[in-house]
Amino acid sequence: MSLIASLPNIDKIADSVFVMHERSEKFIPYHSHAKGQLSYVEGGLAYLQLNDKNYVIPARHYFWVPSGLEHILKIGHSGTILRSIFFYTYDDNKNLFFSEVGIYPINALLLQMIKYTELWDGPIKSDDSRYQFLSVIKNILPEISNKKLPISLPFTDHERMQPILEFIANNITANHTLASLSTHFGIGERSLSRLFQITLKTSFLQYLKLLRMVRSIELMLQSDISISEIGYAVGYDSLSSFSNTFYQMTNYRPSDFKREIAARE
């Protein structure tokens, strides 16, 4: 059964754990559930949209969504498999981890534990022998989830900002500045700067960096081009500039990030 079809069943038994492994739909619209969600992205890319941010989730990473939080899931590749476990919440207050959205690289232990549940499907009740195994997965998450991927791209439905953001995204290699954008769209520099801060809660330069980092991660996963070619493709004129910015935003060098993902394939 697909995730969309299963949504009404996830919360039917409050203290159960709901397990699902699927080749996911391309788009799962705004929804929420009373259970906390652990999902592992196997192959391709996924995107998590909530509140006013878009998160990119590379292959071989997992994410946690706290209970009750409305979100959208987008799958960026037809080969992506989403392995999800929805947990009871009666003990969520024991660790701050369970109240925050997070994206993390998978490690060997968690990967094997999730794959061990591959043939399980639907609600697992507390009197089921498999329940204890699933509880262990939840209990170790705060301990092993210590390297959060900090890439989230703010978004807005603001009518005046939409064409500006589309223009930047469609011309990502250009040397964008507030001055060049204000001239192109006939908006004063100060007004444009305020528009970014008001609608996206970030500066123009920070938004441009985030957009380029998201695009570079997509290229790492969807193409075989070199790191230097990726840097040029997202608007950097030198490998060192791209590498330094990538490290600043993700705590990884781009070559290390690509190598880690490849090693987990």
Shared domain check, 73 and 121: yes
pLDDT per residue as tens, the chain (265 positions): 566 677 789 999 999 999 999 866 678 888 999 999 999 988 777 889 987 788 888 888 899 999 999 999 988 765 678 899 999 999 999 999 999 999 998 989 999 999 999 999 999 999 999 999 999 999 999 999 988 887 888 888 899 999 999 999 999 999 999 999 999 999 999 999 999 999 999 999 999 999 999 899 888 877 889 999 999 999 999 999 999 999 998 888 999 888 876 665 5
CA dist 95 → 5, 104, 135 (Å): 31, 17, 14
Counting the structural domains of the chain, the total is 2
- What is the C-alpha separation between 60 and 45, in angstroms, rounded? 9
Co-location of 37 and 131 in the same domain? yes
Distance CA 5, CA 259 (A): 36
34 and 116 together in one domain: yes
Give Dmax (Cα) for the chain. 66
Residue 149 lies in a domain: no
Last residue of a domain, one of 102, 122, 144: 144
Q: State the residue range of the domain holding 249.
A: 154-263
In a domain, residue 30? The reply is: yes
Q: Do residue 125 and residue 160 come from a single domain?
A: no
- Which residue, among 227, 228, 233, 234, has the nearest Cα to 261 in the 3D structure? 227
- Which CATH number fits the domain that encloses residue 63? 2.60.120.280
Domain annotation covers residue 29: yes
- Name the CA dihedral angle for 214, 225, 173, 54, rounded to a multiple of 10 degrees: -10
- 32 with 73, same domain: the answer is yes
Tell which of 113, 144, 175 closes a domain: 144
Query: What's the CATH code of the domain at 249?
Result: 1.10.10.60
